[in-house]
């Protein structure tokens, strides 16, 4: 060991994180993460991942920036809506500015293009989406590939995070009911002549977005560091200032757990 | 204005003349704190509870779940599977599905 110098520890970007003894910073650095959705939650999640020390992050989104995104997206700038660049590319570009050693890559594709074989490349997947159909696709494929999936969702001052660790925990679909499928059906309503893609404008603001994305990234760090993830769904009420973790059972009728698939 | 603690009887119960075991529970609206009493048959499902109280409170379209204590109930679960006591309180909570726009 060579001589030490005054102030040496302050030169290490992750010195303070290393003081948290259970965090496996080497695992964090080597892990490959997929973030699906580069909007409000995706911005916060990627920012947190890179600041935490993740070095390999893929960001998927096929959408482009609109000005109303700017109230919740820390990595977007005024004028991005006219740049012609996709959300995923902008998030990747700005995240690399946060830590030039981080390899953050953009994937401007639909989530439906992902198959189980694609999931195998990742150690953990974060869902930062805004619709039930995309969540179900990501949930099923990550569960089938046995890759942990941490899903986040917000509506106004409320939020939720679910950590899915196959084959141990229930998956997203286990907790869904007819009200979720009605929401999904409304998005793809059929007029008799054509299928109309209905994109609801949901209430959203940055404080709840920040909390939910932070919990998602923390759960990813816990899973990668060998700690037990939340069991199973955290519901957050920003107005009451409360959060609770609620247990969920595996649904015996869920196709992701039925015979022939994972148990 | 809705009156608190009104009673909901699900449509399926109105159509039958047979005497069936009924359990009365209370459901709390997590967003407003309001409560409503429901009379349920053992065959009723959690989804029917969600739809009954959502209609009663004229909830905005969206996904909802029901909790019993520190446990989330699955939609297809029947009342008879819930180990539910008379006058026990369940809670309807929104299940947020936004976050990318």
A254 is catalytic: no
**In a domain? residue A191:** yes
Report the run of H or E that residue A87 belongs to, with start and end.
helix A87-98
Tell whether A221 is covered by a domain: yes
Contact B100 A209 (CB under 8 A): no
The domain of A161 spans 16-246
Q: What's the maximum distance between 2 C-alpha atoms anywhere in chain A?
A: 77
Residue A111 lies in a domain: yes
A261 is a domain residue: no
Looking at per-residue confidence, does A135 or B9 come out higher? Answer: A135
CA distance to partner chain A, nearest, from residue B70 (Å): 5
Please report the number of interchain residue pairs, chain A to chain B, with beta-carbon separation below 8 angstroms: 121
Q: Please state whether beta strands A233-237 and A242-246 pair in parallel, antiparallel, or not at all (unpaired).
A: antiparallel
Beta pairing partners, A152: A161
Please state, in angstroms and as integers, the Cα–Cα distance from residue B70 to each residue in A131, A165, A234, following that order: 26, 20, 11
For position B82, what pLDDT does the model report?
A: 93
Predicted-complex ipTM score: 0.88
Lowest mean pLDDT among A179-188, A230-239, B8-17: B8-17
Its CATH class, for the domain covering B7-94, is alpha beta
Q: In what order do the strands lie in the sheet with B89-94?
A: B7-9, B35-41, B22-29, B89-94, B64-68, B71-72
Q: Taking Cα atoms as reference points, which of A200, A201, A209 lies closest to residue A76? A: A209
CATH number at residue A213: 3.40.50.720
Q: Indicate the burial class of B89 (C-beta count within 10 angstroms; 0-12, 13-18, 19 or more).
A: middle
Residue A136 placed within a domain: yes
Q: What is the mean pLDDT of residues A45-65?
A: 97
Q: Is residue A53 part of a domain?
A: yes
pLDDT at A2: 85
| Amino acid B44: pLDDT | 97
Please tell me the pTM assigned to this model.
0.91
Q: What's the mean pLDDT when you consider all of chain B?
A: 87
Beta bridge partners of B90: B27
* Inside any domain, residue A7: no
Chain B residues with CB under 8 Å of A202 CB are 97-98, 101
CB-CB under 8 Å, B95 with A180 = yes
CA distances from B67 to A68, A114, B94 (A): 34, 33, 11
Catalytic one among A128, A171, A190, A254?
A: A190
Q: How far is A155 from B97, CA to CA, in rounded Å?
A: 7
Where are the domains positioned within chain B?
Answer: 7-94
CA dihedral sign of residues A31, A257, A247, B68: positive
Cβ of A29: how many Cβ atoms within 10 Å?
A: 15
Domains held by chain A: number: 1
Q: Smallest Cβ distance to B94: which of A155, A178, A244?
A: A155
pLDDT tens string A215-259: 999 999 999 999 999 999 999 999 999 999 999 999 999 999 975
User: Could you read off the pLDDT of A99-124 as tens digits, one per residue?
Assistant: 999 999 999 999 999 988 899 999 99
CB contact under 8 A, B94 and A69: no
The whole-angstrom separation of Cα B59 and Cα B6 is: 16
């Amino acid at each position: 060991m060579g001589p030490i110098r005054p102030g040496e520890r302050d030169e290490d970007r992750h010195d303070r994180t290393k003081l948290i003894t259970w965090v496996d910073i080497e695992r964090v650095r080597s892990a490959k993460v997929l973030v699906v959705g580069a909007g409000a939650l995706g911005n916060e999640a990627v920012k947190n991942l890179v600041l935490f020390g993740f070095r390999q992050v893929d960001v998927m989104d096929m959408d482009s920036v609109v000005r109303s995104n700017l109230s919740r997206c820390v990595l977007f700038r005024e004028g991005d809506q006219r740049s012609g660049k996709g959300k995923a590319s902008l998030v990747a570009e700005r995240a690399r500015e946060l830590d030039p050693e981080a390899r953050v890559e953009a994937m401007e594709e639909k989530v439906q293009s992902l198959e189980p074989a694609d999931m195998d490349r990742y150690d953990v997947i974060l869902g930062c989406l805004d619709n039930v159909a995309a969540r179900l696709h990501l949930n099923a494929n990550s569960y089938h590939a046995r890759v942990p999936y941490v899903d986040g969702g917000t509506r106004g001052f409320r939020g939720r995070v679910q950590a899915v660790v196959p084959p141990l925990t229930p998956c997203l679909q286990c907790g869904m009911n007819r009200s979720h499928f009605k929401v999904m059906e409304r998005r793809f309503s059929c007029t008799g002549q054509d299928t109309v893609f209905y994109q609801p404008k949901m209430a959203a603001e940055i404080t709840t977005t920040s909390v939910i994305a932070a919990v998602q990234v923390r759960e990813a760090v816990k899973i990668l560091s060998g700690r037990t993830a939340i069991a199973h769904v955290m519901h957050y009420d920003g107005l009451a200032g409360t959060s609770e973790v609620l247990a969920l059972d595996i649904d015996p009728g869920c196709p992701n757990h039925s015979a022939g698939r994972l148990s | 204005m809705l009156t608190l603690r009104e009673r909901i009887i699900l449509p399926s119960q109105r159509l039958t003349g047979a005497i069936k075991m009924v359990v009365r529970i209370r459901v709390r609206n997590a967003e407003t704190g309001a409560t409503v009493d429901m009379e349920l048959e053992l065959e009723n499902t959690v989804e029917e509870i969600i739809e009954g109280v959502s209609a009663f409170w004229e909830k905005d379209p969206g996904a909802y779940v029901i909790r019993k204590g520190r446990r989330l109930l699955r939609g297809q679960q029947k009342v008879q599977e819930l180990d539910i006591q008379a006058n026990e309180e369940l809670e309807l909570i929104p299940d947020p599905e936004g976050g990318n726009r």
